[in-house]
């Protein structure tokens, strides 16, 4: 406690002067990682040194998740989905059928954590168990909300195929399964994005891996992060046709709206994940009939964004082509953000392992900009 200054004392500020601060922590380095390298200027993304395009062409999601967790490349690595514990099914049954799937998934992960022993530090086994659990939980919620019973995992199927099977009751054709697996690979990891940073902050307190992932899902729920592909579908429906694109885009920007699927905090070049997914979308057997329109609308949008923001290159991001891939595999648009979260489990949990291996509590400083020290009135 300090003594109160005399009433006639000069009114110079007594609180410390603000230190430099970067809004949104843009450009601030907040850690070291061996998991992924993002070259925003050149549009390059590597997972543990391997190019994302090569991983999509030659890898599987289980192999990529294992690479992130262990650093080892084992192309034959398998990861089937895991059963949902009974108490978690009870929780999912209690969630209103009109709840957002992201809310259901976040709740399921939290409930799962309460059924597990998850001692510190997190382990690869914990990461694997949680990543294998969540697709079953989301599929169970999707079925329960439409009055259907959950389907048990088939241990013969790998994670993305198993997820589609538990969602629909049918084993997907190889092309559809491969398209969703490619989506999961590009969604698996992406540096210190907002949700991953959340997972690392939670892990840094020595909290458990389920809490880290539940928090990360909450962060990813925001439309500026994981909500975009659903909105891409809505926007393209509003555009309606290539002929209307120019007028629609100009009007939307004039209203101050953002074009979903464009812009990125790090990429100034074309997002390499968008390039990989565009290839996947074009190669799909059951592609949505609006894919060609989306490709042409993209050109119009890029031209107008370049005209409006000559100072800041705004290019296509991963979410733009995630939309047709996810539609093409038959997912309802409101499942897109939660499906993105399933894919990102590999990265979130790998970051939890990396954080724990060299832990220091994440606790930044903040500039106080409120009133000077003062007496309570009265
Ligand atoms: N459409 C129109 N204008 C945009 C867009 C966009 N998609 N993105 C950025 N801008 C404009 C902003 O309005 C701003 O203009 P101003 O300076 O005149 O206000 C300028 O570009 C800079 O934008 P910032 O908000 O500073 O860029 P930031 O790095 O914070 O944003 C973000 C990145 C949030 C992704 C942004 O580009 C956006 O909102 N995009 C649309 C949503 C989207 O596609 N999200 C998915 C991102 S990918 C992912 O999370 C996996």
pLDDT in tens, 215-258: 999 999 988 887 777 889 899 999 999 999 999 999 999 999 99
**Is any atom of ligand 1 closer than 6 Å to the C-beta of 138?**
no
Q: CA-to-CA distance for 117 and 261, rounded, in angstroms?
A: 39
For helices 174-187 and 318-328, give the axis angle rounded to 10 degrees. Answer: 150
pLDDT tens, 153-201? 999 999 999 999 999 999 999 999 999 999 999 999 999 999 999 999 9
Res 2 pLDDT > 50: no
pLDDT higher for 4 or 274?
274
Beta carbon of 186 within 6 Å of any ligand 1 atom = no
For residue range 258-296, list pLDDT tens digits in order: 999 999 988 998 999 999 999 999 989 888 888 999 999
pLDDT score recorded for residue 230: 83
Answer yes or no: is the C-beta of 308 below 6 A from any ligand 1 atom.
no
Query: Residue 326 pLDDT more than 50?
Result: yes
Q: What is the mean pLDDT of residues 312-322?
A: 92
- Burial of residue 11 (CB within 10 Å: 0-12, 13-18, 19+) is exposed
- Ligand 1 pocket mutation pick from 25, 226, 263 by most atoms within 8 angstroms of CB: 263
SS3 content of the chain, % helix, strand, coil (to 5): 55, 5, 45
The whole-number pLDDT of residue 293 equals 92
Of 231, 252, 258, the one to substitute when testing ligand 1's pocket (max ligand atoms within 8 A of C-beta) is 258
pLDDT of residue 231: 87
* 201 pocket-lining for ligand 1 (C-beta < 6 Å): no
> What's the pLDDT band for 1 if we cut at 50, 70, 90?
very low
Q: How far apart are CA 204 and CA 137, in angstroms?
A: 26
Residue 348 above 90 pLDDT?
yes
Q: How much distance in Å is there from the Cα of 263 to the middle of ligand 1? A: 5
Say whether pLDDT at 134 is over 60.
yes
Asked if 242 and 293 count as a contact pair (C-beta separation under 8 A), the reply is yes
238, with CB counted inside 10 A (0-12, 13-18, 19+), is exposed
Q: What is the pLDDT of residue 10?
A: 54
pLDDT tens digits along 42-54 = 999 999 999 999 9
Q: Decide if 377 contacts 142 (C-beta within 8 A).
A: no
Kindly list the catalytic residues: 264, 319
Measured in residues, the chain has a length of 378
Average pLDDT value for residue range 49-73: 97
Provide the pLDDT confidence category of residue 19 given band limits of 50, 70 and 90: confident
């Amino acid at each position: 406690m300090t003594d109160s200054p005399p009433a006639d004392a000069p009114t110079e500020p007594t609180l410390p002067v603000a230190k430099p601060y970067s809004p949104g922590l843009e450009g601030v380095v907040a850690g070291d990682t061996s998991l992924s390298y993002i070259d925003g200027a050149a549009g390059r993304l590597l997972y543990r040194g391997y190019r994302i395009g090569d991983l999509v062409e030659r890898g599987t999601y289980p192999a990529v998740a294992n690479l992130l967790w262990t650093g080892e490349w084992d192309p034959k690595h398998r990861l089937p989905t895991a059963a949902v514990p009974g108490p978690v099914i009870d929780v999912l049954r209690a969630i209103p059928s009109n709840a957002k799937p992201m809310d259901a998934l976040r709740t399921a992960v939290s409930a799962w954590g309460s059924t597990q022993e998850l001692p510190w530090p997190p382990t690869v086994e914990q990461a694997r168990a949680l990543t294998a659990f969540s697709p079953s939980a989301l599929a169970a919620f999707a079925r329960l909300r439409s009055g259907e019973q959950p389907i048990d995992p088939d241990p013969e199927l790998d994670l993305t195929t198993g997820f589609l099977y538990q969602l629909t009751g049918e084993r997907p054709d190889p092309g559809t399964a491969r398209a969703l697996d490619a989506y999961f690979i590009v969604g698996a990891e992406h540096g210190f994005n907002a949700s991953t940073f959340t997972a690392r902050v939670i892990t840094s307190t020595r909290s458990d891996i389920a809490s880290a992932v539940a928090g990360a899902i909450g962060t990813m729920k925001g439309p500026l992060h994981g909500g975009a592909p659903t909105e891409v579908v809505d926007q393209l429906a509003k555009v309606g046709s290539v002929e209307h694109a120019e007028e629609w885009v100009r009007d939307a920007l004039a209203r101050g709206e953002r074009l979903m699927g464009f812009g990125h905090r790090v990429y100034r070049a074309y997002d390499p994940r968008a390039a990989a997914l565009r290839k996947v979308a074009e190669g799909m057997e059951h592609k949505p009939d609006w894919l060609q329109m989306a490709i042409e609308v993209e050109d119009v949008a890029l031209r107008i964004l370049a005209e409006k923001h000559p100072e800041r290159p705004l290019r296509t991001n991963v979410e733009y082509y995630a939309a047709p891939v996810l539609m093409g595999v038959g997912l309802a648009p409101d499942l897109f953000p939660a499906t993105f979260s399933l894919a990102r489990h590999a990265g979130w949990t790998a970051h939890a392992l990396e954080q724990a291996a060299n832990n220091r509590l994440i606790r930044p400083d903040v500039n106080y900009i409120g009133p000077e020290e003062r007496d309570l009135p009265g």
